Structure 1
Amino acid sequence: MGAVLGDVLGFAAGVAVSPLPIIAVILILATPRGRLNGTVFTVGWILGLSVLGAVMLAIASPAGASAHKHPATWVGALKLALGLFLVVFGARQWSRRPKNPSQAKLPKWMGTIDRLTPVKVFGLGTALAALNAKNAPLTIAAGAAIGSAGLPVGQEVVSLAIFVVIASLGMLVPLGVFLLGGQRARATLGNWKDWAAQHSVAVMAVLFFVLGLKLLGDGVSILAS
């Protein structure tokens, strides 16, 4: 189990530092219903990661490991494909990063966050976790890594839960600061939001390029063994 956790912690960290969801939860917390909507958004995020990871785990577990507990060939092919996607995506993001970070613009949909109902906020959190092109490949890769390791079901569930918790720190930390930080919380979260908005493209480009290379290496190793 320890080896699997070492494999998926990088993916979890990659999901946790996704700038756009972090900016979204901070903006939600700044709305009049911030306490409720921030909690609902975080719950939706956790559910989205859990469902996507569980689906991939269910797919990978029955046929993911050989008799010698080596990942199956299709797992290597999946990691190779995901790694290629992330490398290309990261390189593309890097080429499109603003030359001046202060000129970075947030997506237009973020301007409507203060008008979203709790139901829509929940759906937004779920979508950003499970359907986002930046986070979904990492969650799929983590589910495949856990499912293909030949672990007992209980250890698979624990491994996935640890992945989800770590991958949700980007939501849980701002929420905790808001709930426990008192009057200074808004200023602190505002500074975090500004930094993430200015550097989100560059951060994600480097992150996905590095994780993509790791997945490429894992895929080649599995296919060559």
Structure 2
Amino acid sequence: MGEAIGEVLPLALGIAISPIPIIAAILMLLSPKARGTSVGFLLGWVLGIVVAVVLFTLLAAVIPEGEPDAAKPVAGTIKILLGTALLFLALRQWRNRPKPGEEPALPKWMAAIDTMTAGRGFGLGFLLAAVNPKNLLLGAAAGVVVGTAGLTAGEAALAILVFVIVAASSVAIPVIAYLVASKRMAAPLESLRTWLVHNNAAVMSVLLLVIGVVVIGKGIADF
């Protein structure tokens, strides 16, 4: 189980260090309906991560098990394909990065955050976690790791729990901090939002590159 948790932690970190969801959460915390929309967004974000990793864990569990020390060509091939897709996303992020002096473009839906309800915040959080291509690939990779590790149901549940806690932490921390001390958090949140907006592409391209290489390496090791 320890090996499986060790493999899913970098994947969870890849989801956690996702500037767009963090920026969305911060904008909600600075909006007129901060508490309702941010809590709804957090719940949707957590549920989306859970659904993605559990779904792929169940699908991966169908792959026939071999001997503990035997090669796992099917799981290895899936990991290599997922890692390659992550490298493709890293390249796309890098190519789409803003030029020096150019103001980064943000998704148009962010302009509607001030008028969002808790329900819409929930739906947005779920979509960003479970449907976003990058997060879906990372959730799939984690599911393959857990589903092919030969774990018991309890061990698999624990590995998934660790994955979800780490993956959701970057959105959960600012939301919880705001609920505890809203007045103190306004200025730090705005500073963090500004930094993330201007460094989104660079952060994600480097992160996806590293994780993609790691996943491919794990896939090769399964042969």
Fold agreement, TM-score > 0.5: yes
Distance 1:163 1:64, change over 3 A: farther
Letter matched to residue 53 of structure 1: V
The DSSP-based 3-state class of the residue aligned with 1:106 is coil
Q: Could you list the per-position Cα deviations for residues 100-147 of structure 1 after superposition, in whole angstroms to 9, with x for gaps in the alignment?
A: 266212111100111122221111000000000121101110111011
Quote the sequence identity (%).
37
Partner of 1:178: 178
Per the TM alignment, residue 69 of structure 1 is displaced from its structure 2 partner at its CA by: 6.1
Task: State the distance in 2 between where 1:47 and 1:9 align.
Answer: 18
Per the TM alignment, residue 177 of structure 1 is displaced from its structure 2 partner at its CA by: 1.9
TM-score (norm 1): 0.94
Does structure 2 conserve the Cα–Cα contact (< 8 Å) formed by 1:45 and 1:125? yes
Letter matched to residue 138 of structure 1: L
Per the TM alignment, residue 65 of structure 1 is displaced from its structure 2 partner at its CA by: 3.3
Whether 1:116 and 2:150 are equivalent positions in the alignment is no
Q: Could you list the per-position Cα deviations for residues 149-198 of structure 1 after superposition, in whole angstroms to 9, with x for gaps in the alignment?
A: 00111000010011001000111111122112341211111111111101
Per the TM alignment, residue 93 of structure 1 is displaced from its structure 2 partner at its CA by: 1.4
Task: State the distance in 1 between where 2:180 and 2:191 align.
Answer: 17
Distance 1:145 1:128, change over 3 A: same
Partner of 1:106: 106
Distance 1:68 1:197, change over 3 A: same
Distance 1:192 1:54, change over 3 A: same
Map 1:1-225 → 2, pairs under 5 A: 1-63=1-63, 65-68=65-68, 72-100=72-100, 103-222=103-222, 224=223
Task: State the distance in 1 between where 2:55 and 2:78 align.
Answer: 15
How many residues matched? 223
Question: Cα RMSD between the aligned structures?
Answer: 1.5
The DSSP-based 3-state class of the residue aligned with 2:190 is helix
Does structure 2 conserve the Cα–Cα contact (< 8 Å) formed by 1:80 and 1:220? yes
Q: Identify the range of structure 1 (68-77 vs 201-210) with the bigger mean alpha-carbon deviation.
A: 68-77
TM-score (norm 2): 0.95
The DSSP-based 3-state class of the residue aligned with 1:67 is coil
Unaligned runs of 5+ in 2: none
